[in-house]
Amino acid sequence: MNHPPALPTGPRKPANLSLDTQLLAEARGLGINLSRAAEAGLRDAVREARAEQWKRENAQALEASNAWVQEHDLPLARYRPF
């Protein structure tokens, strides 16, 4: 199983977004850096989407591993203190 790669960071590029006007006004009133907030939200969304994609791509291997453990128990289980 391969693990999802880390999210890249790099130079910024201007982008046009459509945002809820009330939310935008409140954010500006609170002094929130819109670019950083949008980037943080997008980074979270990408991280979640990648994790879901990884789960889908590795579902068969995860199922096989879980089936093996169900049949044979965990390796070295006898050494577990609990």
Q: What per-residue confidence (pLDDT) applies to 30?
A: 98
Q: For residue range 41-65, what is the model confidence (pLDDT) as tens digits?
A: 999 999 999 999 999 999 999 999 9
Q: For residue range 6-29, what is the model confidence (pLDDT) as tens digits?
A: 676 788 899 999 999 999 999 999
Radius of gyration (Cα) for the chain, nearest Å?
21
Evaluate whether residue 46 is within a structural domain. yes
Which residue in 49, 48, 19 sits closest to 34, CA to CA? 19
**Count: domains in the chain:** 1
Is residue 61 a contact partner of residue 1, using CB atoms and an 8 Å limit?
yes
Evaluate whether residue 14 is within a structural domain. no
Domain carrying residue 27: 21-72
> What's the pTM?
0.67
Evaluate whether residue 66 is within a structural domain. yes
Q: Cβ neighbours of residue 50 under 8 Å, at least 6 residues apart?
A: 4, 5, 7
Query: Residue 33 pLDDT > 80, yes or no?
Result: yes
Q: Cβ neighbours of residue 61 under 8 Å, at least 6 residues apart?
A: 1
Give the phi and the psi of residue 71 in degrees, each rounded to 5.
-80, -40
